[in-house]
Structures are given as structure tokens and as C-alpha cells.
Structure 1
Amino acid sequence: MLNTIHLVLKIIPRKWLITLALIVMGLFSFLLLGVMSIFIAAMGGESGTDAGDITYTGEGQVMNVSPEVLKWEPTIRKHAKAFGVEPFVALMLAQMMQESGGRGSDPMQSSEGAFNTKYCKSPNCITDPDYSIWAGVQEFKHAIERAGVTSPGDMDHIKTALQAYNFGTGFFDFVNSNGGKYTKELAIKFSQEQYKKVAHTGMYHCLRPEAVPYQACYGDIVRP
């Protein structure tokens, strides 16, 4: 068998062998890149919620939220009606998409919020989705009131409210001390400063690749 292979190699011109080797290597590299791309996409889908394509119209409509989020619309509406913020249901759907993608037992990520008095204050401590939404709607109401939101179309103040929902109420004071209006740069700066204070705990990491170059790893700097 080896003799046959050696004979074939002697017969085939050297330049053809080089060309064949390059073709084989190219095919192998292409297949390897394909496998890696599939793996990375799968990992990305499991590690967080890519909500970058959410569109909130400001007129009570939201686009590009997942079925996992939409299934909670009746529950959000029930609590929103009880707390007087029903016109903002679409915005809360967008908020849930950003926070959890509608997955898990704490879809509004209310565990660390002020209105959670039943469960511990660590992330994802809440094990009852209805309670998570009940607390989250109140947290949302507090945020829009503190931000001075006047209507579902008041996007300038809504941006501050949504970011504070994620960062905590300290973001309101930070905005007021730095011009009084939300900007992406302010959100990044606040996240950077807070991350420096808690990085040693090992409990915080960048949720999205966009935050890594800034080391803005406290909370989520990607807001609607």
C-alpha cells in the first residue's frame, strides 16, 4: 500500500500536489470556521439577551420582542392597571425583553429592587414570575415618576427611567449632577464608576461585548 502511494506521488507533478494540499487546507479551514461560528452563536444565545433590535415607537407599541416576553403581557397589564401605569405596558414589555428575554422565574429582574420584600436581594432570587412582575411594575412606576415622564412618548425622560430601572436610583442623582439629561456617555461613565467599586467581589461581569472596551460592566448600558 505504501509503495503504491509513493508511486502515485512520483507520477503526479509537484505543483499539482501543492495545489491539492492548498485546496484541502482551505476546505478544512472553511469547515472549522463554520463549526466555530455555530458554537459561538449557540453560546451567545444562552449567555444573555440580545435586545439590540427592540423598537419602541413611543406610541404604545413595541416591536421585535420574543414570544417568551409576549406571553407575560396579560400579567404585566393586570399589575400595570392596578398601579395606574397601563399606558406603559408596551414599554414594560421592552424592559422585560432587555432584562431577561422573558425567561426564568424573575422575568422583570426585580430581586434586587426596593419592592421585593419577600425574597432575598441577590440576583434571580425571586422564584415566582407573577411576584417578579408585581414588584417590577412598581419599580417601573417609581422610575418614570422620578424621571418626570409625562407620557409614553416622552422619550427623553423615558431613557433616564429605563436606565435607572437597571442601574438603580443612584443614576437619577448622577444624571442631575451632570447636565440633567440622559446620554449614552453618562450611562457608560456611571457604569464604569460603579464597576470600579464592586469589581473585587467577582459578582459583576460585562453583559455585552459592547461594554468590554469601556469596562462599563455594572448593569447593562444597552437601553432602548
Structure 2
Amino acid sequence: MPDLAAERMDYRAATLREQDAPADPYPLFDTWLADAFAAKERGELPEPTAMVLSTSLGDRPSSRTVLLKGVEDGTFVFFSNYGSAKGHQLLVNPYAALHLGWYPLQRQVRVEGLVTRVPREESEAYFATRPRGSQLGAWASTQSSEVVGVEELEASYARVERRFAGETVPCPPHWGGFRVAPAMIEFWQGQPSRMHDRLRYDRTDTGWTRRRLAP
């Protein structure tokens, strides 16, 4: 077993200084996201849009990976089954945390904020762009519910495939988008000797405040 306590990496990829960080966090996020896609093109980062979504009902947190589908009107958008565990948790407690880990670039971004549903027409428009297999899967899977075995899932998918044979697959009523409106966005850039750069943006009534946090 490897020595997990051993420090084998020193962070030297880049720096994050106040003079290089805009007053508004979104241009910086756009730049970092573009860098992540460039890393994907180089074969260094398999999925730039993967992000950990954390929700809570107040007793314990729950996390899973979802895909960022865009930053629209200042909100971070992802799509899911509304009847899933995360959908239920967000209905009860509409606050969430997001974490994007771009580790080959020695970068992380954290987001915390209020969650609302994407308007139905926007969910339908996005659903229409998905591969047909993914569309059928959205109908076939009652996400987060217990199943007896993989055969049950395969049979459900086959039924849906027959149901929509030769037809356009509509967006299920239980499927759609969520928007996370950030109250906080934090950017982390690894630095040597674990003296990492951390710049945190907090939303105010008039815009954003920016401050440096100790690593």
C-alpha cells in the first residue's frame, strides 16, 4: 500500500494574485474553464465540466458528481432527475455547494448558493439536444430508487425504446435543470510548500467583495 502521508508533489503550475484577479469572479472562472478545456485537448484532463454537487437535509451532507452545462445569467446550470435523491434534497433545502477539481492544473473552484429550477421550456430545449440513448435513459431510470438487478434496468430501457420507436423522445416531466446562484465563489491555486493561493468572492447587494484566505 502506498504511503498516503508522504508529500510527493509541490505545486508550481501557476499563481493567483490579486492584481491578476478581476473584481467580478465570472471572467476569472471563464478563463479557468477555458484552460481546463485546453488541458482536455492535451489529454491531461478527461472531463473539464465534472463537478461535485453537495446537498443536505440538515442531518448529513450528500455528494455526487454531475456535469456543468453552462454559466447562464450568473448561475451554474446542471440537469438531473427531479425525483432523485438530490432532487428531493434540493426541494426540501434549496442550497447547494459545487466543487470543480482541475487537479492537473493544480486548481479548484468552490461555489455555494441558492438553487432554483430551470424554466420548463429551457429544460425541454436542452433535452432535445441530448443523444437519443440518454433521452431514453431519462425515461427508463427512476434515479436513486432500489432495483433488483441490472436485468430490471435493461427491461425498463427496452420498454421505453419500444414505446418511442420511430418517434421523437419528449422531455420527461420529472427531468430538468437546476440553477445555482452563487453567494460565494472561491478560487484555489496550488503553491509550493502548501502556501496555496485562495481568493474568495462573496456577493453583496452592490456586487462582489474579494478577499484572500490563508491556505
Normalization by structure 2: what TM-score? 0.26
- Higher Rg of the two aligned structures: 1
The structure with the largest helix share of the pair is 1
Normalization by structure 1: what TM-score? 0.26
